[in-house]
Amino acid sequence: MHIVGASGLSQERLAYIQQEVERSTLSDYLEPATIAQLQANQVVILDLATQPFVRRSNYGLQYFLLAPMLLDGQLVGIFGIDRPAEQEYVQEEIELVKALAKMAALVIERVRLLQAWAQTRANELALQEANRRFDGFLSLASHELRTPLTGIRGLIELVLRRLGKLARDESIASLLTGPTLNRLRHPLEEAVQRAAAQNRMISDMLDASRIQANQLEMLTGPAICWKSSGALSPMPTILHPVTISWSDGLQSRAFPSSPMLIASGKW
> The pTM is what?
0.46
pLDDT range class, residue 262, cuts 50, 70, 90: very low
pLDDT for 218 equals: 65
Does 224 have pLDDT greater than 60? no
Distance in angstroms between the alpha carbons of the first and the last residue of the chain: 73
pLDDT for 229 equals: 47
Query: For residues 191 and 143, what is the distance between their CA atoms, to the nearest angstrom?
Result: 20
Higher pLDDT, 172 or 133: 133
Q: How many CA atoms lie within 13 A of 206 on its CB side?
A: 17
Query: For residues 217 and 267, what is the distance between their CA atoms, to the nearest angstrom?
Result: 19
Q: 3-class SS at 224?
A: strand
Strand partners, 81: 65
Q: 3-class SS at 25?
A: coil
Query: Tens of pLDDT along 130-153?
Result: 877 877 777 777 777 777 777 888
Q: How many CA atoms lie within 13 A of 210 on its CB side?
A: 11
Alpha helices in the chain (DSSP H): 11-22, 32-39, 91-168, 178-212, 235-238
Q: What is the DSSP letter of 8?
A: S
How many percent of the chain have pLDDT more than 90?
Answer: 7
Domain ranges of the chain: 11-89, 121-214
Query: Tens of pLDDT along 61-118?
Result: 889 999 998 888 888 888 888 888 788 889 998 899 889 888 888 888 888 888 888 9
